[in-house]
Structure 1
Amino acid sequence: MKPNYRRCISCRKVSLKEDFWRIVRVFPSGNVQLDQGMGRSAYICPQLICLQAAQKKNRLGRSLHATVPEALYQTLWQRLAPSNPQNKI
């Protein structure tokens, strides 16, 4: 079986699907959520720079053709915090 590759919407890096966070606009409700559901998906690297650019330039919203709630960005920032040594001061 061939591996599944995806591209980060922020830095455009191509890597295995498991290396990214998945954000989904669920069909048919149109709700945007993390990790699960069927519908239009976008992938983003779990890195500070990628998340900052995605939020600042609305890359998730444009990729998903939907409004991304602020609570979703807060959840992504919380996921990033424990893995980033710069945040541990």
Structure 2
Amino acid sequence: MQSRSPIRKCVGCGARRDKIELLRVVNNKGDILVDPGGRTPGRGAYLCPNMDCLDKAVEKNSLKNALKIEISDEIYEQISEEIKHG
């Protein structure tokens, strides 16, 4: 029997993928963090680890809406760096 991780939806493109294939971004009491391990407490949102999905999420404000907080350009830059080096 194959063990699969939970399915999550990318806030950028809307694709449904295994949780482990996606990049988790967390609102932890007002701090926005990239959570590669998927263990940080707080409201999470998931992105495919590519710039197209991040750009779509920025365009549609879907990351902001999913995390229920304003997201600064610095945070988007941090997520962008994580995608490039991840």
Shorter chain as denominator, the TM-score bin is 0.7 to 0.9
Instruction: Name the structure, 1 or 2, with higher relative contact order (CA <8 Å, separation 6+).
Output: 2
Q: 1:71 aligns with which of 66, 70, 74?
A: 74
2:24 equivalent among 17, 22, 25? 22
Say how many residue pairs are matched. 81
| Compared CA separation, residues 2 and 45, structure 1 to 2 (3 A) | closer
Alpha-carbon offset, residue 30 of structure 1: 2.0
Q: 1:15-70, CA deviations, whole angstroms, 9 ceiling, x for partnerless residues?
A: 111111101111xx222111052111100001221111111221110111111122
1:87 maps to none
Q: TM-score normalised to the size of structure 2?
A: 0.79
Q: Flag structure 1 segments of 5+ consecutive residues without an equivalent.
A: 84-89
8 Å CA contact 2:4–2:18 kept in 1: the answer is: no
